[in-house]
Amino acid sequence: MSNKSERPKARVFLVDDHPLVREHLTALIQQEADLEVCGEAADAPSALTLIHQRNPGLVILDISLKRSHGLDLLKDLKGFRPKPAVLVLSMHEETLYAERALRAGALGYITKEEAIVNILSAIRRVLAGQVYLSARMAGLVMEQLVSVERAPTEEA
């Protein structure tokens, strides 16, 4: 007998061109009582079609896809109604990628290295409408901001 007060699971869609990454994320997410993977794609054209059909609450997106760029897909998702939240999962540790992703509409950016430990908390924060930057990336962004702010002062 099902409990009617149970909250529906948050639907997550995965976009990564590496099958092993998608498989691992699926296994991890499916173990959570409040999350479910509703689909996956290896490229942007397939992802656009499937995301439109499956209506996920969250898209986990690798920005380095074969034959396409994840940032282009991210921009295309802005037109979806309802618009899914996006968490970028990337191998790139440069702040430029995180900045571009956030400006293009992502709510979160996490490196694949840090995702091993923090992906579930990142998913939940982004689903809650909060911005998420992995600890390392947040530190790099802050260092960059502080160095930019200090530069004019040091010259004066």
Query: pLDDT digit string (tens) for 74-121?
Result: 989 988 888 999 999 998 888 888 999 999 999 999 998 888 889 999
Q: What is the DSSP string of 104-132?
A: TT-SEEEEHHHHHHHHHHHHHHHHTT--E
pLDDT for res 52: 93
pLDDT for res 7: 82
CB hemisphere CA count around 114 (13 angstroms): 20
Is the model's pLDDT at 61 over the cut of 90?
Answer: yes
- Phi-psi label, residue 85: left if phi above 0, alpha if psi -120 to 50, beta otherwise: beta
Is the model's pLDDT at 58 over the cut of 90?
Answer: yes
Domain membership flag for residue 89: yes
In Å, what is the CA distance from 30 to each residue of 37, 41, 94, 112? 7, 17, 30, 19
Q: What range defines the domain where residue 90 resides?
A: 10-155
In Å, what is the CA distance from 154 to each residue of 32, 148, 149, 151? 50, 10, 9, 5
Domain membership flag for residue 2: no
Cα angle for residues 133, 135, 139 (degrees, 5° grid): 95
pLDDT for res 48: 93
Mean pLDDT in the chain? Answer: 88
With tokens 């059909």, the residue in question is: 53
CATH number at residue 108: 3.40.50.2300
In Å, what is the CA distance from 76 to each residue of 45, 84, 90, 139? 10, 11, 19, 29
Domain membership flag for residue 106: yes
Is the model's pLDDT at 1 over the cut of 50?
Answer: no
Is the model's pLDDT at 5 over the cut of 60?
Answer: no
pTM for the model stands at: 0.87
pLDDT band (50, 70, 90) for residue 13:
very high
pLDDT for res 66: 81
Domain membership flag for residue 73: yes
